[in-house]
Structure 1
Amino acid sequence: MARPGEVGAHLGFEGEGDRLVTHYFECLERAYSGWRWAVTVTRASRARNVTVSEGVLLPGSGALLAPQWVPWNERLLPGDLGVGDLLPTEADDDRLTPGYTATGDDLDEQMIFEYGLGRARVLSPVGRDLAVQRWHSGEAGPHTPLAHAAPAQCSTCGFYWPLSGTLRLGFGVCANEYAPDDGRVVAADHGCGAHSEATTVPSMVVEAQPPILDDLGYDDLTEAGSVDATDSEPLGHS
């Protein structure tokens, strides 16, 4: 299993069971720093000779290991889906429910508009609650510096378009092209500086400061190069 020079000193042994012992040896291969060779030997019942049962390379303390494997649906992040990518939804996804199923507050609306019109599944109460938590705690929620500095909440803005159904009271879509959340779902208690009623615009004109008069100092006009008052002609004469 190992090339010459890759097996080091004996590190000890461990009893695995009746007539079954595993011996550990140091691994000198530079690519497997911290690993160790494990050789398991055994003796059959009433047999005289000991035979090798198994030999493997195992990680020890401080061994370099690959990251733990995580299923793709658990490591997927928002924005990872690209052009042409498909994201299959599991049949038992608790965020969805059959289109003919009652979902609570919006029972009448969903039964009228979803029954038999092509959508096999619609948003379930679990999926709706997850979306509410995600939207309300995200960048378009009330707990952001942008919302704290806003003159008023989105619910009072003329560019706020409320959602339909049970989410109407809490969320809407921003329709202000100059707002940072244009075209995105925002919480009713979110806000930004592009509020429709933000009529007070900070002045960009810098006010001129009054001149500073020095009443303590004076200029000596009798210095060289200065005009002597006695050499001047009287006013009114050419």
Structure 2
Amino acid sequence: MSSTPEPDPRLLAAHDLALAALHEITAPSTVGPAAGYTLEDDGVVSLRFGNTMEGYPGWYWTVSLAVTDDADPTVLEVELLPGEGALLAPEWVPWAVRLAEYQAAQAALAAEERENADAEGDDDLDDDEDESGEDDDELDDLDDLDASDFDDDGSPILHSGDVDGVDIDVLDESAPDDEDDDPDR
């Protein structure tokens, strides 16, 4: 049967040291009351304090302290950590992946609408018109995009010679030059 080691009482009593360390990185008004402690590896104790900042419900200020031999307690780390039930941001997903998921959902929705229209015998709508009679050519252009059109960070891949979607590499040789051949100019 294993027993849980007891934290060093000097670390549990070091609230003033922990608060002083917190006040070096955040305003005292953002630090709430003591909210317990966690015994870490190698005898390190992390003291927790409530957080009063808006936008961080369920988060705690945490100060990790250690002590060696007969020395005074020392601050190792000060941080803001989420507690149980804290609101966390969702994992980041690149734009190209989100776009592909959106396009797949839109394609599935369109297929379902076509099936429903076929089942009801509603052949009044053209393939390129929606129920309002508007042309869906803009949406057709979205189908041409896929994840290979975007960098890993979600930004569009620019091809050499493209300016605002116009390929400037292809020039009309028959077009007159804008420059005058007048050397006196």
Q: Greater helix percent: which structure?
A: 2
TM over 0.5: no
The structure with higher relative contact order (CA 8 Å, sep 6+) is 2
TM-score normalised to the size of structure 2?
0.44
| TM-score, scaled to structure 1 | 0.36
Q: Higher Cα Rg: structure 1 or 2? A: 1
